[in-house]
Structure 1
Amino acid sequence: MPNVQAIRAANTELPHGPPLVVALAGGTTGIGSYVADALAKIFADNGSKLRVYIIGRNKARADTVIDKCKFISKGSEWRFVQASNLGLLSEVDRCSAEIIHQETADSFHGGPPRLDMLYMTYCYPILKEPTITEEGLDTFISTTYYSRIRFITQLAPLLTASPVTGHVISVYAGGMEDGTKPGEFPVGTPSSEIYNLNTVRKHSAFMKTFAFEELAEQYAGRLSLVHIYPGLVDGPGFLSPEMPIWFRFVWRLLKPLLSLFAMTSSDDCGQVMVYLSTKHFPAKGSALATDTSEVAKSTLDEPGGGAYGVGQKGDAVPGIRYEKVREWDTRQKVWQHTIDVIEGAVKSGQMNV
Structure 2
Amino acid sequence: MVFLSIVHASNSLISTTLPPKLVAVFIGATSGIGKVTLKTFAKYTTQPRIYFIGRSQEAADLILTDLKTLNAGGEYNFIKADVSLMRNVDAVCIQIKQKEKFINLLFLSPGVASFDRSSICLEIKKKNTETLERIHLLAALNYYTRILFITSLLPLLRAAPNLRRIISVGGGTQEGPLDAADFPALRIPLPQLRGHLSTLVTLGLEATARNEATVSIVHDYPGTVKTPLLNYMSEEQMSALMFVPLEECGERHLFLATSGRFRAAEGGCNGVMVGEGDEVAVGTSGTRGSGMYSVGPDCESASAEVLELLAGLKEKGMVDEIWRHTEGEFTRVTELSEVR
Runs of 4+ in structure 1 deviating by more than 4 angstroms, as ranges, are none
- Number of the residue aligned with 1:144: 142
Sort the Cα spacing of 1:254 and 1:124 in 2 relative to 1 into closer, same or farther, 3 A. closer
- Picking from 281, 284, 294, the partner of 2:279 is 294
Q: Cα distance, 1:292 vs. partner?
A: 11
Are the equivalent residues in 1 in contact too, given 2:111–2:229 (CA < 8 A)?
no
- Number of the residue aligned with 2:77: 79
Q: Which runs of 5+ in 2 are unaligned?
A: 114-120
- Number of the residue aligned with 1:118: 106
- Number of the residue aligned with 1:110: none
1:122 & 1:342 partners in 2: Cα distance?
Answer: 19
- Number of the residue aligned with 1:337: 325
- Number of the residue aligned with 1:281: 262
Counterpart of 2:228, as a letter, is P
Moved more, 201-210 or 66-75: 201-210
Count of residues in Structure 1 that have an aligned counterpart in Structure 2: 319
1:292 & 1:14 partners in 2: Cα distance?
Answer: 18
- Number of the residue aligned with 2:169: 171
Are the equivalent residues in 1 in contact too, given 2:108–2:168 (CA < 8 A)?
yes
Confirm whether residue 101 of structure 1 aligns to residue 98 of structure 2. Answer: yes
Are the equivalent residues in 1 in contact too, given 2:40–2:250 (CA < 8 A)?
yes
Per-residue CA distance 1:292-322 (angstroms, 9 max, x = gap) = 9621111111101111111112111133252
Q: Cα distance, 1:256 vs. partner?
A: 5.5
- Picking from 153, 171, 185, the partner of 1:190 is 185
Per-residue CA distance 1:203-231 (angstroms, 9 max, x = gap) = 322222222222222111x2111111111
Per-residue CA distance 1:50-103 (angstroms, 9 max, x = gap) = 1111100001101111211210112111110010x2111001111111111122
Sort the Cα spacing of 1:120 and 1:321 in 2 relative to 1 into closer, same or farther, 3 A. farther
2:295 & 2:321 partners in 1: Cα distance?
Answer: 24
Residue 233 of structure 1 aligns to a residue whose secondary structure is coil
Structure 1 residues 226-241: aligned runs within 5 Å? 226-239=218-231
Residue 93 of structure 2 aligns to a residue whose secondary structure is helix
Counterpart of 2:204, as a letter, is A
1:23 & 1:167 partners in 2: Cα distance?
Answer: 11
- Number of the residue aligned with 2:5: 5
Per-residue CA distance 1:256-312 (angstroms, 9 max, x = gap) = 574xxx2111111001111112221111234759x9962111111110111111111
Per-residue CA distance 1:122-164 (angstroms, 9 max, x = gap) = 1257514242222221111011001000000111111111112
- Number of the residue aligned with 1:253: 236
Confirm whether residue 305 of structure 1 aligns to residue 305 of structure 2. Answer: no
Are the equivalent residues in 1 in contact too, given 2:176–2:192 (CA < 8 A)?
no
2:56 & 2:192 partners in 1: Cα distance?
Answer: 30
Residue 53 of structure 1 aligns to a residue whose secondary structure is strand
TM score, norm. by length of structure 1? 0.84
Sort the Cα spacing of 1:277 and 1:186 in 2 relative to 1 into closer, same or farther, 3 A. farther
- Number of the residue aligned with 1:88: 85
2:152 & 2:144 partners in 1: Cα distance?
Answer: 12
Q: Cα distance, 1:20 vs. partner?
A: 0.8
Structure 1 residues 25-40: aligned runs within 5 Å? 25-40=27-42
2:291 & 2:3 partners in 1: Cα distance?
Answer: 22
Are the equivalent residues in 2 in contact too, given 1:26–1:120 (CA < 8 A)?
yes
Are the equivalent residues in 1 in contact too, given 2:136–2:186 (CA < 8 A)?
no
1:203 & 1:292 partners in 2: Cα distance?
Answer: 34
Sort the Cα spacing of 1:124 and 1:316 in 2 relative to 1 into closer, same or farther, 3 A. closer
TM score, norm. by length of structure 2? 0.87
Are the equivalent residues in 2 in contact too, given 1:233–1:269 (CA < 8 A)?
yes
Are the equivalent residues in 2 in contact too, given 1:186–1:206 (CA < 8 A)?
no
1:95 & 1:199 partners in 2: Cα distance?
Answer: 33
Are the equivalent residues in 2 in contact too, given 1:26–1:54 (CA < 8 A)?
yes
Sort the Cα spacing of 1:218 and 1:72 in 2 relative to 1 into closer, same or farther, 3 A. same
Residue 219 of structure 2 aligns to a residue whose secondary structure is strand
Counterpart of 2:135, as a letter, is L
Are the equivalent residues in 2 in contact too, given 1:11–1:271 (CA < 8 A)?
yes
Q: Which runs of 5+ in 1 are unaligned?
A: 104-112
Residue 315 of structure 2 aligns to a residue whose secondary structure is coil
Q: CA RMSD in A?
A: 2.3
